[in-house]
Structure 1
């Protein structure tokens, strides 16, 4: 079989779905390569900063690594702005959706909410509330997100910070994304991702 015969999913046979599942498994093995390509594309993304979006991502991950963060958080820092090009107004939710099957729930929550939490640094310039993040003050991941934004995200626009190349993080990406998706032993406690 080279392709299925059905034109509507409800008409598909078991044989066709088994065939498609095999193709999907094969395609999914290339996920890390596609993530690396997407990260490389950040080199040509939003301008105006003193570093490219790729350099910002690498620097965020390097700061997390230097801070002693675990691989889940380092990968979260590396991919936290991956949605900038395709989802400029909800980039953090897009990035969180990508990492969610592979990292602990706290990291997913932090990446999902970092877009709101980072407004702490600039919202006042636009007449907005810089403390909008405080609606989550009682959430168990609140401080982790505050720390993520302070230590890794907002600080990573420094062209002089010693930042390793993308290849430095590739083995870590491959380890994290080789995990069984949604493994409860990895994800642990999931936290609701309300906006």
Structure 2
């Protein structure tokens, strides 16, 4: 059913108190209100990132934002495309709200807007990062091996080695958040779940090292 902004504009709020009681007119009204909300997604993402600058990772040398900025800077300087750079910036954005599954949290944030390979890498990077420390806790250092047959396995290995695990360095000169803001805006301005963006089943890998 087409949206009629003029019709929706005659309402201030819906009358229903249960979704099953809503009318077509009410749902068209809500759809119009949702459009500016969706358009503001990158601003909300940037706001969350700025908040992470105030949160030092316990025991580490840098803030949560600093880790994301370092990761994204390394990706950018190695010639990675915008999907990888934005993913590197946001891969740990869920640490505050979902520390036990922060990787999946971040993956769901970017899933509609970047290719499947990148989303899969972000979604699984927590397990792949265990390679660097899990054995010290008596856990399975090779947790990533359960994904060995996945076409994106090597991309996640390389993401962790080159950009994630390397980015806890308080002496690394990274770009600031403003540098990445246009990239965040561009990615989140894409049409959600566009097949030409998602590129299901395509493994490009990371760019070759300079």
1:97-116 deviations in Å (ceiling 9; x for gaps):
00000000000000000011
Which of 19, 29, 36 is residue 9 of structure 1 equivalent to? Answer: 19
Partner of 1:44, secondary structure, is coil
Aligned to 2:96: 85
Q: 1:124 aligned to 114, 117, 135, which one?
A: 135
Encode CA deviations 1:91-138: one digit per residue, 9 max, x unaligned.
Answer: 000000000000000000000000111011000110011101000011
Question: Scaled by the length of structure 2, what TM-score is found?
Answer: 0.89
Select which of 32, 45, 58 maps to 1:22: 32
Structure 2 Cα separation of the partners of residues 7 and 190 of structure 1: 43
Deviations 1:18-72 (A, max 9, x none): 1111111111111111000101111123332111110000000000111111100
TM-score, normalization by structure 1: 0.96
Where does structure 2 lack aligned partners over 5 or more consecutive residues?
Answer: 1-10, 203-210
CA-atom RMSD, angstroms? 1.0
1:39 to 49, 59, 65: 49
Structure showing greater radius of gyration is 2
* Poorly superposed stretches of 4+, deviation over 4 Å: none
Residues in 2 aligned to 1:190 and 1:38: alpha-carbon distance in whole angstroms: 31
Q: Which runs of 5+ in 1 are unaligned?
A: none
* Total equivalences in the alignment: 191
Give, in whole Å, the separation in 1 of the partners of 2:78 and 2:169.
17
